[in-house]
Amino acid sequence: MPKKRFENLDNVAMNNTLARLRQWRKERNAKKKDLTYSIPKVAQVTMDAALNQNSITWIGHATFLLRYGGLTIVTDPVWAKSMGFQKRLAEPGISIDLMPPVDVVLISHGHYDHLNFPSLRALKGDPLILVPKGLKSKFLRKGFRKVEEMSWWESKTISGVQFDFVPTQHWTRRTPWDTNSSHWGGWVLQEEKRTTDNAPSIYFAGDSGYFRGFEEIGKRYKLDYVLMPIGAYEPEWFMSNQHVTPEQAIQAYIDAGGKHFIPMHYGAFFLADDTPKEALDRLNAEWQRLKLDTAALNILIHGETLPVT
């Protein structure tokens, strides 16, 4: 029986043909990029600040340590020192051996920069791993047993915290034979019982091109902290369906009705032709152009903790 192949909303395809890939590689070889800027790292991480309150701590790329509703949660854990032939641009904000025991791991999709099995094995604790539909079998083959897979808009409640898997516009592949054999998405965290005293919600947007789904997510949830990708967008003619630009990331945040914007998915790996400095410069310029609240833009450094209040 042939494997199910997952799709985007409106059947948007990536069009990552070999010819287009060759054209991108040709362009890349002609570019000279300055990679000397490195995202700073907190000199001494105090785990008390991260664990004694609801909080968001950026490890790097799409990896966050979240403390929420008494649970310790990690998103897309990747402590890898390289991605393909490219060395990591900046060290993780917290060394994996200093990480606390983890209760829940959230996986957005199966790309290597979001799913690193050695990092998963090195995490302390015995976490439940929530993954997109179609990905559980790969985890079972790797020896992981506490794994549950979810489809778009499905919910899972753990110790009073509700985890909702929501759409993104992306794709996935780990081998030449498994393209789109599992889905992709983001995660919304909120307290299960809705009261006026609820902790603010957290929306981890995973990896995505700009699409109408951000507005739909905003209609379904009251979103407070939005963790949004801003990197791996250049060249835009090749990346636009799968990665938002910094300007599109801001528009996605507006569409979703978020209160706080936390950029991610930049600065750790040289995945496309944009640099961390370019992504940040474009983000800041667009934020100023739109005259958005400066207090709502939370640009973290690696290892920095933002209280969720």
- The pLDDT, as a whole number, for residue 114 is 98
pLDDT at 2 over 70: no
pLDDT digits (tens, 9 = 90+) for 230-276: 999 999 999 999 999 999 999 999 999 999 999 999 999 999 999 99
Helix 276-289 and helix 246-256: axis angle, to 10°? 50
Amino acid found at 117: F
- The pLDDT, as a whole number, for residue 286 is 98
pLDDT digits (tens, 9 = 90+) for 10-55: 999 987 888 888 899 888 888 888 989 999 999 887 788 789 999 9
Cis peptide, bond prior to residue 229, ω within 30 of zero: no
- The pLDDT, as a whole number, for residue 67 is 97
- The pLDDT, as a whole number, for residue 84 is 87
pTM summary value? 0.96
pLDDT at 1 over 70: no
pLDDT band at 69 (very low <50, low <70, confident <90, very high): very high
- The pLDDT, as a whole number, for residue 26 is 86
Q: How do strand 260-264 and strand 225-229 relate by DSSP bridges? A: parallel
Chain-wide mean pLDDT for the chain?
95
Q: What is the mean pLDDT of residues 72-82?
A: 98
Give the fold, CATH level 3, of 46-305.
Metallo-beta-lactamase; Chain A (3.60.15)
Helix 213-220 and helix 246-256: axis angle, to 10°? 30
pLDDT digits (tens, 9 = 90+) for 154-200: 999 999 999 999 999 999 999 999 999 999 999 999 999 877 778 99
- The pLDDT, as a whole number, for residue 68 is 97
Amino acid found at 210: Y
The CA-based diameter of the chain, rounded to the nearest angstrom, is 56
Domain locations in the chain?
46-305
Is residue 66 within 8 Å of 77, Cβ to Cβ? no
Report the percent of the chain where pLDDT is more than 70: 99
Is the dihedral angle over the CA atoms 224, 219, 129, 109 positive or is it negative? negative
DSSP code for 36: -
